[in-house]
């Protein structure tokens, strides 16, 4: 089952190489809700694993984001003691643009396609259609 959460990206950490073949990366999101006229702020830490560790590179600290994740749990036993570990494994993150904002592109200097013409401005258009 997949879940999603929206909030503001407040921290992203370096990739940690756990073993020769396994790597993780963590990041944190601030989630603020209004409950009965009161503001409640929660801080949620996610982890990415393997090829998903790069998904956080696309967003910046302070960006509003939507995180898609799975909940994973494991049982850990040592010296007769049992511990349970829960991970929020993020597999996708999207930047949420504020109303009126536009996404940045590498080609902002180009003219919009509806006004672009490859002909010089003084060319005569004598086509019958």
16-69 pLDDT tens trace: 999 999 999 999 999 999 989 999 999 999 999 999 999 999 999 999 999 999
Residue 31 to residue 40: CA distance in whole angstroms? 8
Contact partners, residue 88, CB within 8 Å, separation at least 6:
44, 45, 46, 47, 69, 70, 71, 72
Residue 39 to residue 82: CA distance in whole angstroms? 36
Q: Positive or negative, the Cα torsion across 115, 118, 121, 122?
A: negative
**Residue 124 pLDDT:** 58
The pLDDT > 70 percentage for the chain reads 77
Identify each DSSP E strand in the chain by its residue range: 2-12, 16-19, 22-35, 38-49, 64-78, 81-95
3.30.470.10, 2.40.50.140, 2.40.30.10, 3.40.190.10: CATH of 2-97: 2.40.50.140
More confidently predicted of 97 and 61: 61
**Residue 107 pLDDT:** 43
Other C-beta atoms closer than 10 Å to the C-beta of 26 total: 19
Give the residues across from 89 on adjacent strands.
47, 70
Taking 50 as the threshold, does the pLDDT of residue 105 lie above it? no
Phi, psi of 51 (to 5 degrees): -70, -10
**Residue 110 pLDDT:** 43
Domain boundaries in the chain?
2-97
**Residue 97 pLDDT:** 83
Residue 89 to residue 72: CA distance in whole angstroms? 7
The pLDDT > 90 percentage for the chain reads 71
């Amino acid at each position: 089952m997949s879940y999603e959460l929206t909030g503001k990206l407040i921290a992203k950490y370096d990739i940690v190489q756990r073993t020769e073949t396994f790597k993780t990366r963590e990041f944190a999101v601030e989630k603020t809700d209004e409950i009965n006229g009161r503001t409640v702020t929660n801080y949620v830490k996610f982890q990415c694993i393997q090829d998903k560790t790069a998904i956080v590179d696309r967003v910046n600290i302070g960006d509003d984001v939507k995180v898609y994740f799975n909940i994973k749990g494991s049982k850990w036993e040592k010296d007769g003691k049992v511990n349970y570990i829960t991970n929020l494994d993020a597999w996708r993150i999207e930047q949420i643009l504020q109303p009126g904002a536009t996404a940045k592109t590498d080609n902002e200097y180009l003219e919009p396609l509806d006004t672009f013409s490859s002909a010089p401005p003084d060319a005569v258009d004598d086509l019958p259609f």
